[in-house]
Amino acid sequence: MLTESQTSKPFNERTIAVVEATAPIRGSIRLALVGFVIHHFLPLRFRRPSFAGLSLVAVITAVGHLGPNVITGWMHGKSMLNSLLYHLVPGLTLIGIGLGLIGICHLPIRFGARVGLVANNQPIWMLPWPNYTSRNLS
């Protein structure tokens, strides 16, 4: 953590928090810009698969905070496979949940049943649980 004597201007918590909060957004904007230029010059038959691949990369990098430093550190042996997987798991989990919901939408059953399955498909941690810690148990 920086102190006031280490900086050239007075210490401001809010400025540092804003800079740290916008770091994943900057990476996504760079990825979108490079993807747009590549997408523009691709032949028509490769545009849809490249957009799908770019979307998957964007989700994994934005959600898991996976950047070039993590990948190059793993490739050069400076970090273990566990640290790479630590950054991949959140994005892959989000993609898996999305694919599961899309799969439910394409089931060959009645429309009302599909709507009910999608509406009922909520993770266990989103269910309302009673707060046992605030109750006096003695």
Distance of CA 76 to the CA centre of its chain: 24
For residue 62, what pLDDT is reported? 80
Q: Distance of CA 31 to CAs 27, 38, 109, 138, Å? A: 6, 11, 39, 56
Tell me the domain boundaries of the chain. 4-107
Q: Is the pLDDT of residue 82 over 90?
A: no
Average pLDDT score over the chain: 76
Q: Name the residue with higher pLDDT: 107 or 17.
A: 107
Element (H, E) at 113: helix 111-120
Q: Is the pLDDT of residue 43 over 90?
A: yes
State which amino acid sits at residue 92: L
